[in-house]
Amino acid sequence: MIFLPEETWKSRVGFVAAAMGSAVGLGNIWLFPMRAGLYGGAAFLVPYLILLFLIGVVALTVEFTLGRAAGGPIEAYGKTLPGGKYLGIFVNAMMLMIFAFYSVVVGWALRYFVTALTGKLLSVDPGSFFGSISFSTEAAVWQFIAIAITIGIVIMGVQKGIERACKIMMPGLFVMLIILAIRSITLPNSYAGLEFYLLPDWSKILSGKTWMIALSQMFFSLSCMGMSNVVYGSYIKKDQDIPLSAIVTAFGDTAVAVTAGFAIFPAVFAFGLEPTAGPGLVFVTLPVVFQKMPGGIIFAVIFFLLILFAAFSSTVAMLETNVQAATTHLNMSRKTATILFGLLAFVIGAPGAINPTYFEWIINISTVYLGPLGALIAALALIKLGIDKAYEELRKGALIAVPAIWKPWAKYVYPIVVIIVYISQFIVG
């Protein structure tokens, strides 16, 4: 049975912009550079790039190919795995939970962007400001606005909404990131930041933990959880490329992460601040940098706008996953499904906007304990679909040759690596 989607991407570049947008998120901005700095500097890129080629690109081809061959998660798993329809519903529920807590963080970023626009970000104490706006009723209001903007994009459809928005947001994000990186590197006393970020410590790449961290970082950065990538794959036309798009998506995602390190660390070191502040780097440390930097308000506006571009290009993929399921299986219109699931995400996430304990719980359940199982479900579904059939599907419209080793790699190596990634979550956090 041939799967024919109701909606498709208009162009190859449009699909790549959307897939890259889905992958690029807040983790690219603060987590990758910090891990690179702590685990070997430029030497961290050696395991990262090896794994990106051997596992990351394969992971994307697996999920895109499964989607194009069999449809979104509920159809793809339903056709291939026993009880697969329920597994599809399960991954959709996980996606809704991820969207619910992610929208809380996007709400914080929106609040910061507006505060930067009005110029007030320069006169607040960043630590107290973050404390006052996060985990409050106000945070729930900003979360609602973040969801409303996401609804506004998704409701317009795959081509006119998601694809068009990502074709604007992704180039914009790169331009802004490069501007910030140049400003950061040219600050006085910024060189120590570059040294922290880049000078290779080769002893670190002999450590298994560094490889585990690189694997885990790469996997989640590419959003390989058998959810949105499968849905985006289902919108790829038969004459459109998958393998080259997977490579471009993987390298684009890495380019944002690597460039973020150039934008952040030289500036953080130039003003003598703590480089390993975790998520607080974005909401507390960097606002201090902007306060101390000449013309800082302009760079603050640029920075939080690029954070919003990274965030919204991800949230549209999250909401679209549920919308695809609802329009296909519940016979809903796109408009009804988008509003309904957007509101559901608000209802689930709003308590997390107010209560930090619930916020942490919903993150752990959806991204650490249950979400990664989606990648394993997708890997198994592809095997059950038939590896030869999947290989033929992957080669349709391909702009580059796909070596035959992809078949045993996707069938045997990849599922084992997914299990290792899942276990590593509990080891490396």
Per CB under 8 A, residues contacting other proteins are 11-13, 16, 41-42, 45, 49, 191, 194-195, 197-200, 241, 244-245, 247-248, 251-252, 254-255, 258, 262, 399-400
> What minimum distance in Å lies between the beta carbon of 233 and other proteins?
16
> What minimum distance in Å lies between the beta carbon of 406 and other proteins?
17
Identity of the residue, 248 or 308, whose beta carbon is nearer to other proteins in the bound complex: 248
Identity of the residue, 248 or 305, whose beta carbon is nearer to other proteins in the bound complex: 248
Phi/psi region, residue 134 (left: phi>0; alpha: psi -120 to 50; beta: rest), is beta
> What minimum distance in Å lies between the beta carbon of 15 and other proteins?
9
Rounded Cα–Cα distance for residues 119 and 114 (Å): 9
> What minimum distance in Å lies between the beta carbon of 310 and other proteins?
16
> What minimum distance in Å lies between the beta carbon of 249 and other proteins?
9
At 76, the amino acid letter reads: A
Q: Which two tokens stand for residue 70?
A: 């069999």
DSSP assignment string, 348-373:
HHHHHHH-HHHHHHHHIIIIIISTTH
Identity of the residue, 246 or 326, whose beta carbon is nearer to other proteins in the bound complex: 246
Residue of 7, 11, 13, 16 lying closest to 157 (CA atoms): 7
At 163, the amino acid letter reads: E
> What minimum distance in Å lies between the beta carbon of 165 and other proteins?
18
Rounded Cα–Cα distance for residues 388 and 366 (Å): 33
Identity of the residue, 61 or 338, whose beta carbon is nearer to other proteins in the bound complex: 61
Identity of the residue, 251 or 391, whose beta carbon is nearer to other proteins in the bound complex: 251
Residues contacting residue 18 through CB under 8 Å, at least 6 positions apart: 9, 162, 163, 166, 232, 313, 317
Rounded Cα–Cα distance for residues 134 and 150 (Å): 20
Residue of 197, 136, 173 lying closest to 314 (CA atoms): 173
Rounded Cα–Cα distance for residues 327 and 154 (Å): 13
Identity of the residue, 43 or 140, whose beta carbon is nearer to other proteins in the bound complex: 43
> What minimum distance in Å lies between the beta carbon of 119 and other proteins?
33
Rounded Cα–Cα distance for residues 36 and 108 (Å): 26
Identity of the residue, 32 or 90, whose beta carbon is nearer to other proteins in the bound complex: 32
Q: Which two tokens stand for residue 222?
A: 């590419």
Q: What would you measure as the largest C-alpha separation in the chain, in angstroms?
A: 63
